[in-house]
Amino acid sequence: MGILNVTPDSFSDGGEFLSTDDALAQAEQMIQEGADIIDVGGESTRPSEGRERISVDEEIARVIPVIEKLSKVSSIPISIDTTKTEVARAAVKEGARIINDISALRFEPTIADIAASSGAGLVLMHSRGTFETMHKLEPMKDLLLEMNESLRYSIDEARMRGCKREQIAIDPGFGFSKSHDQNLELMAKLEIFAGWFSDYPLLIGTSRKSFIGRILNNAPVDERLHGTMATVAISVLKGANIVRVHDVKAAVETVRVVDAIRRAKN
């Protein structure tokens, strides 16, 4: 899954693909490099003091032109990264086939209604708190247990609203509402988490995250490629089915090597 942020303030590539033409060019490059899905996002979730959420209209204005044009020139599945029902509705109407909700329906449960009525895939990511507080919370006392309980609730909500099991994927939410040590613990125990949710595809998003930078002597965002690929390799070995990345070519090559090794073992 290639990340396409059409935002001015995303932590890694904010402002790089604000114009529709630049965004389409980046999407086409990621597809050429081997991306199987393009994930389009119009609102940054980076920690930022005093930052307010953008409106539905502003988010739609950012993402819909890109989704509309990309869906006409490519058959690759498009994912809309949003927590807003109306944005999801507009994106699906223009060709998005996956809704990627970092709140796992906690902010707007009616997102599941859009997935159910359209047949779109639905990614449920673990996070805690509100949009404004999710990066400021105290660490969880029992990481895996609390994640399990929260995501089970979200799955039940999605199923109650008409989503089928095969529409749902799970994302443990690296970097969201977790301390540095808990991100490492989650990676170390990922096979346990994957086993609990073995009925659902597992999506992992560690790309350029701050916990990787911290391990690498506080490396800036543009110097976290090798650390990211280490987490990609570990994630796939521990059960990940989808990896969400900025650097598609590097991830494709990393996963290809991991897959070859796994096949040799069997």
Domain ranges of the chain: 2-265
Q: Is 234 helix (H, G, I), strand (E, B) or coil?
A: helix
Q: Which of 209, 224, 256, 262 is catalytic?
A: 209
Q: Which of 244, 256, 262, 265 is catalytic?
A: 244
Kindly give the pairing relationship between strand 168-171 and strand 203-204. Answer: unpaired
Please, which residues bridge with residue 261 across strands?
none
| 209 belongs to the catalytic site | yes
Superfamily of domain 2-265: Dihydropteroate synthase-like (3.20.20.20)
22 secondary structure, DSSP code: H
User: Closest by alpha carbon to 121, among 64, 39, 3, 58?
Assistant: 39
Report the alpha-carbon distance of residue 102 to residue 114 in Å, rounded. 16
* Exposed / middle / buried, residue 167 (Cβ in 10 Å: 0-12, 13-18, 19+): buried
Is 93 annotated as catalytic? no
Of 1-10, 19-28, 180-189, 192-201, the least confident:
1-10
What is the C-alpha separation between 4 and 248, in angstroms, rounded? 11
Kindly state the percentage of the chain with pLDDT values over 70. 94
pTM value is 0.94
